[in-house]
Structure 1
Amino acid sequence: MLVELAVGDAYGAGFEYAEPAFVAEHNTLAGYVQHPTHLGIRPGAYTDDTQMTLAVAELLVSGKPWDRAHLAEYFVRAYRRDPRDGYAGRFQQFLDTVHTGADFLARIEPASDKSGAAMRAGPIGLLPTVDDVLHYAREQARVTHDTPDGIAAAQAAALAVHYCHHGIGPVAELPGWIGSRLGTSWARPWRGKVGSKGWMSVRAALTTLSTSTSLREALRGAVAWTGDVDTVATIALAAGSRTPEIAHDLPEILTDELENGEFGRDYLRDLNSRLLATYS
């Protein structure tokens, strides 16, 4: 799961809010693409979507209490050990000035309804029950996105992984299943460009996944929406990687050329193994 979602994040980063003509020309899965204006993110590098997901996964396997203090500690640690571009500007400026989880909590204003809590929620879906998933997703969202829409988007993203991981039903019925738990709007098909709100990215990911038969198809479809497509791809591939109903056929070039520094591809694979062993 972690490698696949990182591929989605890194591939989508080349197209985030790019012009539709650029997306249409280059969204071929032939390799990673340099974003036309975000030159600080090199092709094959993942962004905040994956880095924050690592923090969530690391806390899950640590056995430490699932509370605001530990979540903030792991968010700060993930960024401070490996600072990178890709975060929203104001939040990155904030991260550059905090050094501890306690400082983070003392200064954060968790009023956002954007996609930050949803993009990192995938590993929570491995938990054994729906109630567990809803609780864990809500608590991690409240650290930075303590709004009804921010929390619901995180819960929906985590439930998508849960549905696929536990084989609850056909992937085509995923949006309806989430809609039955979080509200009927989640079952409505997404149309058009994806904006910055968390519910937008998750609904686009649910539509993409429920109409795809392979990870390759899901990745191209996620990016084709245009807009905040790295988050759509991250959420869709996190869930899609956990079901045998979706062919695991990502192009080898995307896996092989995913960054592989200290917290890159090999680290993701190892952490993924520990995560699945914990919640098998």
Structure 2
Amino acid sequence: MDRQHRVAGALIGSAVGDALGAPFEFGPDGRFSARFPSPARGVATEMCGGGTLGWEPGEFTDDTQMALLLAESLVERNGLDGADVFDRFRRWAEADPPDIGLQTRAVLGSCLPWDTAAAEHFRAGNRSAGNGSLMRNTPAAIWFARAGREATMDAARRISALTHGDPAAGEGCAIFHEVLRVLLAGGDADAAVVDALPLVAAEHREKWARVCAPSWRPQDATEGNGAVWPTLGSALWALRNSATFEEALRLVIDLGGDTDTVACVTGALAGARSGIAGIPMRWTSVLHGRVPGFEGRWELPDLHLLARRLDGHRSAQPYAPPTSHDLEPAEVAPGVWAADLDGARRSDRDFAVVSLCRTGGRFGHDVQRLAYLVDDDTNPEVATVLDDVLDDMAALRADGRRVLVHCFGGASRTGLVLRAWLMRTEGLSAQEATERVAARWPHLGLWNDSFTAALEEFGRR
């Protein structure tokens, strides 16, 4: 898998977990599965919004807000500038965000200097090993990953210490940094923990070894999951006991308690493991939010761009798609239509749109799903994306929606999905499906050999 797929998976997976878990925060265990016993792929999904603070569906919380502030500081200052990060955090806190941890609020509102505020809070006898520094660390883990184990663990401690004076929190962040560094390289999380533990401060090593051990379970926790130990321990537990991003997130949200933060941390690790293609598009498509005290609204394309910049592509710019041919939508199968980028953008608003390319932003349709599919041979999991798209299409059709599928030119990626749809719904062979689509959509493109191979494999499955 290309590294950039894993980097995007980590950053966006973290925000997905945050937004997905937010409505269930401080609730009992099992609430998520009780409400969603099976995947909700239609017009209404598990990105349901609500909760005690009335989040919008897909809206991220303070976990991601602080992560974005850290990320922008790293990119703009070309490295870690503790004073700048702290100033951004303080400006955010002064703007009265709807959700902010008690400890973080106390430190940022103390009027003490950036390099002593958290330490003084801890020295005064306040509990300081919450998960508030762990939840925001994914951008820094990405940024420092190429610098190696010791450098990334040291950076994690320094970032944690800006708001959390207890060294135990910093050691948890250091382990998280190293695990994410290894996952981004395609390695194993448990092996990363083993290698990280000798670098953990001696007075904290035994407890972190116990919480991060493969035998540990959330019910073994001695603190609530608002503390740093069970948050990271639960994320690692979910990673071991799941095969997919979706399974991992369901496990940790069903634990109850501090669901947004535990899911945020889990989402980063599971997203790095699966890559961006492994995160359900019904969740990524609706991600959004604002950072109080700062201008602008964040959406999925902004997070993709930020992921590239954090991973070393400093000059990456927002994507502005060129003009396509503006092909008029055409019905290729009952209730399933095809178009190109501009044809879809200008289509009737009652379409449920499935976008298979970068769009430069949302269209304004009530339902728009944004799939991650590249028109070359670098897609690590075409089958995973194809299953995700087809399952959502089926659910949207069951909800009575006309589904409009498009990519930039309406040719190759669009053709792959349309042919797979006919194979699944009508039992056609790959050749029969190709002939049917070509007869109804003359813009079909067949140049991508990896798509041809994926379609043949789809037929065998």
Which of these residues, 253, 256, 267, is aligned with residue 282 of structure 2? 253
TM-score normalised according to structure 2 size: 0.53
Question: Partner of 2:133 in structure 1?
Answer: 117
> Of Structure 1 and Structure 2, which has the larger fraction of its residues in strand?
2
CA deviations on 1:197-216 (whole Å, 9 max, x unpaired) are 11110111111123322211
Structure 2: which 5+ runs fail to align?
1-9, 41-45, 123-127, 291-295, 315-461
Cα separation, 1, equivalents of 2:264 and 2:196: 18
Q: CA deviation at 1:166?
A: 2.3
The answer for the alignment partner of 1:156 in structure 2 is: 175
Larger Rg: 2
* CA 1:14–1:44: 2 relative to 1, 3 Å: same
Change (3 A) 1:29 1:102: farther
1:18 aligned to 2:27? Answer: yes
2:66 aligns with 52
Give the TM-score of the pair, scaled to structure 1: 0.83
CA contact (8 A) 1:125 1:160 kept: no
Write the distance in 2 (CA, Å) between the matches of 1:242 and 1:136: 20
Which residue of 1 is the match for residue 188 of structure 2? 170
SS in 1 for 2:129: coil
Q: Deviations over 1:14-47 (max 9, x none)?
A: 11221225333125553223444x1343332111
Aligned residues: 272
1:269 shift after superposition: 2.3
State the Cα RMSD in Å.
2.9
Partner residue in 2 for 1:9? 18
Match 1:146 to one of 155, 165, 185? 165
Return closer, same or farther for 1:203/1:21 CA change in 2, 3 Å cut-off.
Answer: closer
Q: 1:133 aligns with which of 152, 162, 183?
A: 152
Question: Matches of 2:65 and 2:305 in 1, distance apart?
Answer: 15
Structure 1 residue 247: Cα displacement: 7.9
Q: 1:78-137: CA deviations, max 9, x gaps?
A: 555x75322124644775x68xx9766675544211001111112222322111111111
Q: For residues 147 and 23 of structure 1, what CA distance do their matches in structure 2 show?
A: 32
Say if 1:122 and 1:29 are closer, same or farther in 2 by CA, change over 3 A.
farther
Matched residue, 1:208: 238
Distance 1:166 1:144, change over 3 A: same
Residue number in structure 2 paired with 1:33? 48
Q: Which amino acid in the other structure matches residue 138 of structure 2?
A: G
Q: Does 1:85 align with 2:98?
A: yes
Percent of aligned pairs with the same amino acid = 25
Name the amino acid aligned to 1:170: D
CA distance in 2, matches of 1:41, 1:104: 31
Counterpart check, 1:191 vs 2:206? no
CA distance in structure 2 between the aligned counterparts of 1:55 and 1:164, rounded to whole angstroms: 24
Q: Distance in 1 between matches of 2:63 and 2:113?
A: 22
Give the Cα separation in 2 of the matches to 1:235 and 1:115: 10
Unaligned runs of 5+ in 1: none
Distance 1:77 1:143 in 2: 14
Is the aligned partner of 1:264 residue 2:278?
no
Separation (CA, whole Å) in 2 of partners of 1:90 and 1:142:
12
